[in-house]
Amino acid sequence: MYDNAEQELASLEERGLLRDLQALPETGGKIVIEGKKVLNFSSNDYMGLARDQRLKEAAVEAVSRYGCGATASRLLAGHLTLHEELESDLSRMMDTDAALVFGSGFLTNLGVLSSLAGPGDHVFSDRLNHASLIDGIRLSRAHCYRYRHKDMAHLEDLLKKSQDTPGKRIIVSESVFSMDGDIAPLKELSELASRYHAMLIIDEAHAIGVFGRQGGGVCRIPGREIQPDVIIGTLSKALGGYGGFVACSVSVRRLLINKARSFIYSTGLPPACLGSARAAVRIITSEPEPGTTLLEKARRFHSLLTQHSLKMPDFESQILPIIVGGNEDVMRFSESLSRKGLLVKGVRPPTVPPGTARVRLSLTLSMTDSALEQAACAIAEAAEEVGIALHGSTGVTTQ
C-alpha cells in the first residue's frame, strides 16, 4: 500500500497543480458535452482526419486482414508487411531514404535520443523541448546542455565551450513548439550543426501534415528547406491516428532497429493504426501544401483575438497560447471558457515553465469562421471576467 499518495495529491492541490481526467463522449472539433454544444480547442487533430471516413475504412480493412494486434515485437513475429508499406509511404512523404514506425511519438523520442547519444556525448537541447525529448536525453546519459529558447548565440556559446571535449555532438529542437506554437530558427540550427560537426534532430510532431511540401513539416517549406539528420514525427496529431515515426537514413534506421529499446522491447504498432495512417498519408500528400487553409484560419483567429485586446505572441502556427501566469488563474480562465461552450484546457507546470501557465488554443480545420468569431468574443469576455485581459504577457516563456 503506497500511503504517501494522499499526501502528494494534497501537496499538488495546494500548489494549484492537481490534474484530473475529463471523459469526453466523442472526438471532433464540435462536440456535445452533457447536452451542450462545445467548440473543442484542445485537440491536436489539426486536419480533422481522426473521424474521416477514409481513415475509418482503412483501419477496418487492416483489422479484417491482419487482426487486432501485431502480436509481438517487430523483431519477433510483429513486423507486418503493413509496417513496411507505411514506412515507405512515410519516407516518400518526408523525402528521406528511410522511416521507422514506433509505438508513439513519445516512444520514438525515447528510442532515438537514447540510441544516437550515449555516455560521454554532448546533447544541446532547446529549453522548451518536449518532455519526451528531455527523457530521451536523460536515458542516453549524455551531457545535456539546455540553451535558452531559440537563442542561437547561447547555443553557439555552449557548442564552442564543449568543442575540445571528446564525444559526439547532437543538437535537438522541436520545429513548431508544442505549447508556444512558435517556430525554431531551423536554418541557423542547421548552419550551427554543420559548423560544429553536430548531428541535427528535429521533432516535427506538431508540423507534420500542416506545414511544408506534402505536409512534410517545417523542414520541407519550399525555399526554407533544411536536411536534418533525423526528423521525428507522430501519427497521433495531424495524421489523426496513433503511433510515432522517425524519418532518416537507411543506416540510422538499421541502428535504431538494433539499439532503440522502446522499439525492440515493445509490441509493433497494431494494424488499425497502420491502416489509418496509410490513408492519412495518402490524403495529406495529395495536396502540394495541405496546411494552407488551416494556417490562414489560424492567422485570422489570431488577429481577431488581438483586436479584442488579448495580448498574444506573434502568429506563427495553428497553436495559439494565451499566457496567464498563475496556476489558479489559468484554471479559472479555462472554467469560464467552458461555461461559454469552449473546451480550452489550462496548461500548467511542469508542462510549461513556472509562472507561464496558459491556455493553449489549438485550431482544427472543421472550425468555421463564424464559430471562431463567436469564440473570440467569448474568450475576450472570459479574460475580462477573470481579470487577465491586461496582464497577459508574451515574453515569459523565453527563459
Ligand X SMILES: Cc1ncc(COP(=O)(O)O)c(C=O)c1O
Out of 41, 46, 66, 106, which residue is the one contacting ligand X (CB under 6 A)?
Answer: 106
CA 279 to centroid of chain Cα atoms: 20
41 is written with which cell numbers?
Answer: 480547442
Among residues 130, 146, 149, 213, which is the contact residue for ligand X, using CB under 6 A?
Answer: 130
Binding positions for ligand X, 15-44, rule CB under 6 A: none
Q: 292 Cβ partners below 8 Å, 6+ apart?
A: none
Give the C-alpha separation, 352 to 350, whole Å.
Answer: 5
79 is catalytic: no
Query: Would you call 161 a catalytic residue per the annotation?
Result: no
Listed in sequence order, the residues at least 6 apart from 268 whose beta carbon sits closer than 8 Å to its beta carbon are 70, 71, 72, 73, 74, 78, 79, 80, 83
Residue 169 or 206: the one with the smaller Cβ distance to ligand X is: 206
Catalytic status, residue 44: yes
Residue of 62, 66, 105, 173 interacting with ligand X (CB under 6 A)? 105
Least separation in angstroms between CB 394 and ligand X: 21
Among 60-68, 98-106, 120-128, 194-202, which window interacts with ligand X (CB under 6 A)?
98-106
Indicate the residue whose CB is closest to ligand X. Answer: 105
Does residue 237 have an active-site annotation? yes
CB count within 10 Å of CB 55 equals 23
- Alpha carbon distance 190, 185 (integer Å): 9
Q: Kindly list the distances between the CA atom of residue 290 and the CA atoms of 46, 165, 282, in Å, as whole numbers in the listed order.
A: 11, 44, 11
Which of 40, 96, 109, 114 is close enough to bind ligand X by CB under 6 A?
109
CA distance 325 to 183: 22
The residue annotated as part of the active site, out of 203, 276, 334, 336, is 203
b or e along 267-298 (b: 16 or more beta carbons within 10 Å of the residue's beta carbon)? ebbbbbbbbbbbbbbebbbeeebbbeebbebb
The residue annotated as part of the active site, out of 125, 178, 276, 317, is 178
Block residue for cell numbers 509562472: 355
121, 122, 130, 276: the active-site residue: 130
Choose the binding region for ligand X from 104-112, 160-168, 331-339, 376-384 (rule: CB under 6 A).
Answer: 104-112
Asked if 104 is part of the footprint of ligand X (rule: CB under 6 A), the reply reads yes
125 binds ligand X (CB under 6 A): no
Q: List the one residue from 58, 62, 186, 205 that touches ligand X (CB under 6 A).
A: 205
**Of 149-178, which residues contact ligand X (CB under 6 A)?**
174, 178
Name the residue nearer to ligand X (CB basis): 109 or 214.
Answer: 109
- The torsion angles phi and psi of 395, rounded to 5 degrees, stand at -100, -5
C-alpha cell at 223: 525555399
178 is catalytic: yes
Annotated catalytic residue within 44, 132, 266, 336: 44
Catalytic residue positions, numbered: 44, 130, 174, 178, 203, 206, 237
Binding site for ligand X (CB under 6 A): 104-106, 109, 130, 132, 174, 178, 203, 205-206, 234, 236, 244
